[in-house]
Amino acid sequence: VFQRMTKSECYFINGTEKVRYVQRAIYNREQFIMFDSDVGHFVGFTPYGEKLAKRWNSNAVFMEDRRTAVDWFCRCRYKNFTPFLTERR
C-alpha cells in the first residue's frame, strides 16, 4: 500500500500578529519536501524532494502563491475558527 499525504499547518503567535505557514508532503511516512513561510522556499529531504524543490522554487508565480499563503490560507481560517476554539468550554 502506498500513501501520499500533504499537510498544511498554520502557527499563530499572539493572534494573527505573527503567523507561520508550513506545508509538508509525505510519501509512505517519509517527508520528502517542505515549505516554511519563515524560510520562504521549499526544502527537499530526499533526492526526489530536492529535484521537486528546485523546480518549484524556480517558478515565480507558484512561489508568490506559497509566500502569500499566510494571508489567504491561515489568517482567513483564524477568523472563522477562533470563536469555535476559544469560546468552547
pLDDT at 19: 92
Q: What is the pLDDT of residues 27-73, one digit of tens each?
A: 999 999 999 999 999 999 999 999 999 999 999 999 999 999 999 99
pLDDT at 15: 81
For every residue of 35-68, DSSP letters joined together read EETTTTEEEESSHHHHHHHHHHHT-HHHHHHHHT
Indicate the SS3 state at residue 3.
Answer: coil
CATH topology of domain 4-87: 3.10.320
Domains of the chain: which residue ranges?
A: 4-87
pLDDT at 82: 77
With a cut of 70, say whether residue 89 has pLDDT above it.
no
